[in-house]
């Protein structure tokens, strides 16, 4: 009798857990679809604004301040200050807030940065509007970035090697 009860309880627990996992997966799909649609609408409207440049890939940017001199390449290691937000203004990462510039290889970052950073000279400050397909797509690296989100980065290029 006790074994039967234990088996029934385990089966019920497995069924309940399975239900909640499936429900959570469905909620994530709905949220990702909404993020995709919201990003698409944002970028369509943003592209109409004065000063916004749209590349063939769909990356959008605006020049806040030009720099001078040579520009980094995909093989460069750059030092930047950046401030990353979602379309609604939610900050998900900021070297500016940390007070510590970030150094990294251009080839090791999202495609939107790989395309955008080589447009800049040292001292330049750009704002990048990155569609989800040039950002993290459906594989978010952090709970702060929903799957399917388009991202906005304000980037200042401090130097490169």
Question: What is the full per-residue pLDDT of the chain (161 aa) written as tens digits?
Answer: 678 877 877 766 666 676 655 665 676 777 778 888 999 999 999 999 999 999 999 999 999 999 999 999 999 999 999 999 999 999 999 999 999 999 999 999 999 999 999 999 999 999 999 999 999 999 888 889 999 999 999 999 999 99
Kindly name the residue from 42, 61, 82, 126 that is annotated as catalytic: 82
| d(C-alpha 56, C-alpha 12), whole Å | 53
pLDDT at 33: 83
Q: Which domain holds residue 58?
A: 2-160
Cα–Cα distances in angstroms (integers) from residue 107 to residues 45, 122, 130, in the given order: 30, 18, 16
82 in active site: yes
Catalytic residue among 61, 129, 153, 160: 153
The reported pLDDT for the residue numbered 20 is: 58
Our count of domains for the chain comes to 1
Looking at 61, 92, 126, 129, which residue is catalytic? 92
Task: Check residue 13 and give its pLDDT.
Answer: 66
| Amino acid 137: pLDDT | 92
CATH number of residue 21's parent domain: 3.10.50.40
Query: What pLDDT, on a 0 to 100 scale, did the predictor assign at position 32?
Result: 79
Rounded to two decimals, the pTM is: 0.84
Residue 31 pLDDT: 75
Q: Which of 129, 136, 152, 160 is catalytic?
A: 136
């Amino acid at each position: 009798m006790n074994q039967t009860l234990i088996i029934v309880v385990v089966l019920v627990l497995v069924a309940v857990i399975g239900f909640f996992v499936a429900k959570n997966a469905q909620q994530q799909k709905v949220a990702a679809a909404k993020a995709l649609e919201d990003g698409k609408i944002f970028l369509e409207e943003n592209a109409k604004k004065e000063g916004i440049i749209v590349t063939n890939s769909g990356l959008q940017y605006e020049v806040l301040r030009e720099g001078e001199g040579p520009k980094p390449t995909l093989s460069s290691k750059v030092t930047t200050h950046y401030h990353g937000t979602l379309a609604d203004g939610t900050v998900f990462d900021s070297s500016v807030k940390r007070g510590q510039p970030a150094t990294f290889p251009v080839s090791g970052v999202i495609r939107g940065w790989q395309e955008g950073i080589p447009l800049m000279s040292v001292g330049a400050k750009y704002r990048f509007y990155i569609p989800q397909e040039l950002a993290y797509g459906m594989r978010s690296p952090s709970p702060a970035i929903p799957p399917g989100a388009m991202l906005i980065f304000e980037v200042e290029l401090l130097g490169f090697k």
